[in-house]
Structure 1
Amino acid sequence: MAVAFFIPDQATLLREAEQKEQQILRMRETQWRLLATVVLETLRLYSPCPPKVGRKCGKYRKPSQ
């Protein structure tokens, strides 16, 4: 009784490993982008002075002369 085993060549193994690595890197980048977006949106939400058109943000202002 003969049993056949499929043994992929080295190029195929390297290509599959590279594809898996790229997939993992894309997923990691996506997670970091999501985290950065959440942090930036939270900072914008809780910033002491939301951006207003034509006005500068600051606690102390110079008296107008």
Structure 2
Amino acid sequence: CSMTNYLIITKDHMSIYINVGEVNEKGRFTNTYTTYALCGFICCSRESVDSLNRLATKDGFLKNI
């Protein structure tokens, strides 16, 4: 899990993987992306949106928002 550093086991059917694509100044996809993995515990505890915002902010995706 990107937020907790826990391993996501095969039986964790609530876990999600999200790819965030990078775009250039013209808004075109640059064929690079960052993958975030969130374990089922984070998703079930309704912390997934907050966790994704923290990770994206740390990686610089939300610097202009």
TM range (shorter): under 0.3
- Structure showing greater radius of gyration is 1
Q: Which has the higher helix share?
A: 1
**TM-score when normalising by structure 1:** 0.24
Q: Which has the higher strand share?
A: 2
Structure of greater relative contact order (alpha carbons < 8 Å, 6+ residues apart): 2
**TM-score when normalising by structure 2:** 0.24
